[in-house]
Structure 1
Amino acid sequence: MPGAYRAGRRGRLPGGTAGCREGRAQFVGVDGPARVRADLGASTLYRHFPRKEDLVEAMLDELIADVRRNAERADRIEDAREAFRYVFTHSCGMTPQEIALFAQLAAFSPGAGRHAQRLIISVVSPVAARLREADGLRPDITDDDLAMFVRMVEVADTPDRREKALDVIVTALTTAPSAQRSPSTG
């Protein structure tokens, strides 16, 4: 029954990545949280994730899964601006520990950073497209810009500051540049 044994262990791998965000394992190296949660040895883990980068990407995918589910709820919001605000504010809705881990994993390598960027873009781009169609998003803002703004908010050190940053950024993004004060007008 070696196949059944492997199948049972393989089923625990996603839980292994989830364990890192639930605070059940200290982040000491890339594979620590996944091995502790999934009760796997390093050799078993690396059969499923031959490169550390593969494991980092799987952990990033797991961390953003709840954010992605929140973003899908915006499809039911009729007003494009409100849908955008909902997704943007909920895309930054990870716990402080999850935010720190996401940032740490994204900094693991240039490839991990690009993967994290693609994940964030995949969350915000559908509502950004809706808002662009409604002429509610500044025309000079790209999906890459939006992902950068999300990551900027992630580094706020308290929930109150994160909420303020979100409000300021979302307001600036959804205000036409002509309606904003120019530096020359004071």
Structure 2
Amino acid sequence: MAERIPAPDTPLRADAARNRERILDAAEAVFIERGADASLDEVAKRAGVGIGTLYRRFPTREDLLAAMCDERLLAVVRQSEECSNTRSPMEAIRDYVHALVVHTTHFRGLAASLGAVLQTGTAGCQASQVEGERLLARARQAGVLREDVAISDLVCIIIAVALAIEQDPDSAQRADRRIDLFLGGIGRP
């Protein structure tokens, strides 16, 4: 009989929680070494669990990536919330986009999956979207952002800059310039 996947708020049994942590640790190591499209079989082997256990915990690759990203996303959101009120609205958006680009380049291949990862509904994914919306609303209210800019536009900026860095590591030095170019296009003159 297949194991039922617990609801997100349901605490895991101790052995299930240990398996989950082993899977996340193994995935982090494998994805850093080989990229986000590395074999999930290899992740399961490195974690010392069967592939069925991995898929019970994380039914899709995006679910696994989202779980791995959750703490980093929550940290980015906390930092943005703490600092954004001391920055102009566009500077706060720039800082947020930059932090997410850095996060998205943690391992090769994450940028290509970012849109799907953000749709998984984990706490970090939800919080990052809420924070992005808050920053956009603040900039609109200040009259420095076009009215038609949506959170999906910021996600596209993040993906584009992260993919550029992934393709050419030297472009990491130009990430801020690219972010500024994109944000210049969505700001109000």
Query: How far apart, in 2, do the equivalents of 1:132 and 1:172 lie?
Result: 14
Q: Does the residue aligned with 2:109 lie in a helix, a strand or coil?
A: helix
CA pair 86-4 structure 1, distance change in 2 beyond 3 A: closer
Question: After the TM superposition, which residues 1-186 of structure 1 pair with which residues of structure 2 at under 5 Å, given as runs?
Answer: 5-23=15-33, 27-29=37-39, 31-32=40-41, 34-49=43-58, 51=59, 53=60, 55-63=61-69, 65-77=71-83, 78=85, 79=87, 80-94=89-103, 96=105, 98=107, 100-106=108-114, 112=116, 115=119, 119=125, 121-122=129-130, 124-156=132-164, 157=168, 158-174=171-187, 176=188, 179=189
1:95 Cα deviation (Å)? 6.5
- TM-score, scaled relative to structure 2: 0.68
1:92 Cα deviation (Å)? 0.7
Query: How far apart, in 2, do the equivalents of 1:135 and 1:117 lie?
Result: 31
Identical counterparts, % of pairs = 20
Answer yes or no: is the 8 Å Cα contact 1:63–1:102 preserved in 2: no
Structure 1: gaps (5+ residues): 180-186
Task: Output the aligned Cα RMSD.
Answer: 3.3
Larger radius of gyration: 1
Query: How far apart, in 2, do the equivalents of 1:64 and 1:142 lie?
Result: 22
Q: Which has the higher contact order (CA 8 A, sep 6+)?
A: 2
- TM-score, scaled relative to structure 1: 0.68
- One-letter amino acid of the counterpart of residue 119, structure 2: H
Q: Does the residue aligned with 1:87 lie in a helix, a strand or coil?
A: helix
